[in-house]
Amino acid sequence: MSFMFFAGILSAIAAILHLGCIYFGASWYRFFGAGEEMAKLSEQGSIQPTIITSGIFLVLSIWSLYAFSAVGIITKLPFLKVILVLITCIYFLRGIAGFFFINQPLGRSPEFWFWSSIVCLFYGVIHLIGLKQQWSLL
């Protein structure tokens, strides 16, 4: 099985976890390190956390669909190569950038930046290997 298939699964899992934050609220925002402000807004019934998290869910879902398109699970999506390269780069950039926020976490914990960066770098590696495997077929 192609690494790109697993890349699609990983993005789908991340998307579902973001839906969990919307559904389960403040405790999930806190657990996943979204910051106390997001958790408090959620507790207060603000729509802001839902809008932000829904946007992230939507992006991650689309990324998952592109990975699945690359392995033929769904129909070929437009600009497949370019989008998959961009997704891979974004995962790597987010992973690297997060390490720069550990000492000034911007309302999140240093642990959030560390672990989310590790996860993003891992996702980037899986995407990169998947791209290499699938490139000639795209």
Short-list 80, 67, 83, CA closest to 13: 67
**Cα 16 to Cα 1: distance, rounded to the nearest angstrom:** 22
Q: Is 1 a residue whose pLDDT tops 80? A: no
**Cα 87 to Cα 123: distance, rounded to the nearest angstrom:** 10
Q: What is the pLDDT of residues 19-45, one digit of tens each?
A: 999 999 999 999 999 999 999 999 999
Confidence at residue 14, expressed as pLDDT on a 0 to 100 scale = 98
Residue 62: HSE in the Cβ half-sphere, 13 Å Cα cutoff: 13
Cα 63 from chain centroid (whole Å): 8
Cα 59 from chain centroid (whole Å): 8
Q: What is the pLDDT of residues 57-103, one digit of tens each?
A: 999 999 999 999 999 999 999 999 999 999 999 999 999 999 999 99
